[in-house]
Structure 1
Amino acid sequence: MSGADRVEALLDDAACRLEAAGMSNAAGEARMLLAHQLGCSPSRFRIWPEALVGDDDAETFRTLVAARAGGRPLAYITEECEFWSLPLKVTPATLIPRPDTETLVEAAIACPLPEVARVLDVGTGSGAVALALAQERPDWYVTASETSGEALAVAETNASTLGLKVTFVEGDLLAPFHETDAWDLIVSNPPYVAADDPHLCCGDLRYEPQSALAAGADGLDVIRPLVAGALQRLAPGGWLLLEHGYDQALAIAALLKEAGFGSCFMQHDLAGNPRVSGGRRED
């Protein structure tokens, strides 16, 4: 193989470039990028570090490394991200699923619901939450809505690839559904970042769809109508669960109480930050 590069040399060079760009897991990301390019597992490189990589693959790999060093999210380069142990396809049309959102899944499966529950995930994006719930509770009837047709197509692809049954509906928040619909559980990871939050200009957030992140001056412009409209779409005893920012728990508790929800609670994420709030239709 003329002019081929050794895996070990490619990875060492890539790790140096990524580390210089400030990546905290430079060596790990280098392995993931090369594995993506070669269509193999990163563990392969530990077994055969002396293996050779052809010129075309090596050149493309260096291009991927340059994109990552420039700040492009790893998940958008590889078009894959793991959530709840599920490998999900992601694109710039969807948010990148984060471990914090697994708190929403944990809260949902802990809710006292009928064995065959009707569940709605509002603003599903890549389908992460809906698919995790379908995986954990195969007897639930899971529906997921999404405003973006592009994002919805990604979610449908993920469901098909994983063999999980979720019904997908395009539309804004609760608009696609009748007020007579009686959901046992409504969950959502809505946009909740304040529009002027400087973090929107940093890191991966620079590349993610802003419409799925920012929601007005206080970050609650989407949560307000969602809370206001959810109660009448829940079955008696049904639950609404929302992911939110670390500093929004008190505001959302007030919104839930004002809308008529009872049994309100808040759950922390693994970092100890307030992350999920919910309430129940008591009548």
Structure 2
Amino acid sequence: MEDIQSILTSSALSLQNISDSADLDVEVLLCHVLEKNRSYLRTWPEKQLSRTQLEQFKQLLKQRQQGQPIAYIIGKREFWSRYFYVDSNVLIPRPDTETLIELCLQLIQHKPNAKLIDLGTGSGAIAITLAAEYPKLKVTAVDNSTAALKIAQHNALLNHTSGIRFLQSNWFDQIADESFDFIVSNPPYIAPDDPHLNLGDVCHEPKCALIAEQHGLQDIMLISKQSQRYLNNNGYLILEHGYDQKQSVHNILQKHQYQNIQCLHDLSNQPRISYAQWQTLK
């Protein structure tokens, strides 16, 4: 039998040409098999795996060697200190989206019983996180994918946020005549010919949640236009977008007469979250 340290060393070497985080990837896979945290690996490096554990680990490692994202292999991803189930029907929640969460929490604190809609909810990470942080918040989460909605509903149960309303809708198509204080979205914003689509985890994620026509701006343009009808006076539209789309998104929001347009930078100091207010009373 092999011990933890030898497995970590040899397995990380096998991922060097596949992953920029080979050591971490192997640790995550091994922790998943052992049902332990990473500190356990450092505390017990001489601990030997059982035959069953070793076989299970080798199967997971093979998937990673084939390029499968870690989150899909182990079926979960941490986001805002909570775990979310994910599979190939939804995008993998990313740390940069936590910038959107930080902004929303700052804005919602002034109106904790507000109405919020999350467009294209996917795994539900945004809607569920906000509902968990502000239990009085009235949250609606929509997605055009029935598979994604099932995952989001499952994650709502996992994270004890049973009050979220889930609806199948292509953006606002199935939304009744109602209004919201906050409209948030992490929509598709990658251009169809972007070379990043063939790199890393992205090439395994659902293309419908990644790609937008018109240089990646089609869905942002549509949401910006349609949100006018659904926002309360002084309500906020909050959008995640590509690092190189700040000016284009600003121009779109300006064209549709939004006010107080601003942009926040992500963890890599790239412009990532644009937001603005809609004022119906001029």
Same fold (TM over 0.5): yes
Alignment counterpart, residue 67 of structure 1, candidates 63, 66, 87: 63
In structure 2, C-alpha distance between the alignment counterparts of 1:277 and 1:110, rounded to whole Å: 15
Report the counterpart of residue 9 of structure 1 in structure 2: 6
Report the counterpart of residue 44 of structure 2 in structure 1: 48
Matched, 1:233 2:230: yes
**Cα displacement string for residues 198-254 of structure 1 (whole angstroms, at most 9, x for unaligned residues):** 110111111000000000141011111111100110111111110001111111112
Contact 1:121 1:188 in 2 (8 A): yes
Matched, 1:202 2:221: no
Contact 1:234 1:281 in 2 (8 A): yes
In structure 1, C-alpha distance between the alignment counterparts of 2:158 and 2:129, rounded to whole Å: 14
Report the counterpart of residue 58 of structure 1 in structure 2: 54
Matched, 1:25 2:25: no
Alignment counterpart, residue 37 of structure 1, candidates 33, 40, 53: 33
Q: Secondary structure in 2 aligned to 1:53? A: coil
Which ranges of structure 1 fall in alignment gaps of 5 or more residues?
Answer: none
Q: Secondary structure in 1 aligned to 2:218? A: coil
Normalising by structure 1, we get a TM-score of: 0.94
**What is the Cα deviation at residue 22 of structure 1?**
4.0
Report the counterpart of residue 265 of structure 2 in structure 1: 268
Report the counterpart of residue 144 of structure 2 in structure 1: 147
Letter in 2 for 1:169: L
Report the counterpart of residue 169 of structure 2 in structure 1: 171
Q: Secondary structure in 2 aligned to 1:87? A: strand
Matched, 1:125 2:122: yes
Matched, 1:278 2:269: no
In structure 1, C-alpha distance between the alignment counterparts of 2:80 and 2:35, rounded to whole Å: 22
Q: Secondary structure in 2 aligned to 1:43? A: helix
In structure 1, C-alpha distance between the alignment counterparts of 2:239 and 2:158, rounded to whole Å: 27
Report the counterpart of residue 105 of structure 2 in structure 1: 109
In structure 1, C-alpha distance between the alignment counterparts of 2:40 and 2:112, rounded to whole Å: 43
**What is the Cα deviation at residue 136 of structure 1?**
2.0
* Consecutive aligned runs of 4 or more in structure 1 exceeding 3 Å deviation: none
Letter in 2 for 1:89: Y
In structure 2, C-alpha distance between the alignment counterparts of 1:250 and 1:53, rounded to whole Å: 53
Contact 1:5 1:55 in 2 (8 A): no
Which ranges of structure 2 fall in alignment gaps of 5 or more residues?
Answer: none
**What is the Cα deviation at residue 154 of structure 1?**
0.9
Q: Secondary structure in 2 aligned to 1:61? A: helix
In structure 1, C-alpha distance between the alignment counterparts of 2:184 and 2:2, rounded to whole Å: 49
Contact 2:127 2:141 in 1 (8 A): yes
Question: What RMSD, in angstroms, separates the aligned Cα atoms of the two structures?
Answer: 1.5
In structure 1, C-alpha distance between the alignment counterparts of 2:254 and 2:12, rounded to whole Å: 51
Letter in 2 for 1:73: P
Calculate percent identity across the aligned residue pairs. Answer: 37
Normalising by structure 2, we get a TM-score of: 0.94
Q: Secondary structure in 2 aligned to 1:126? A: coil
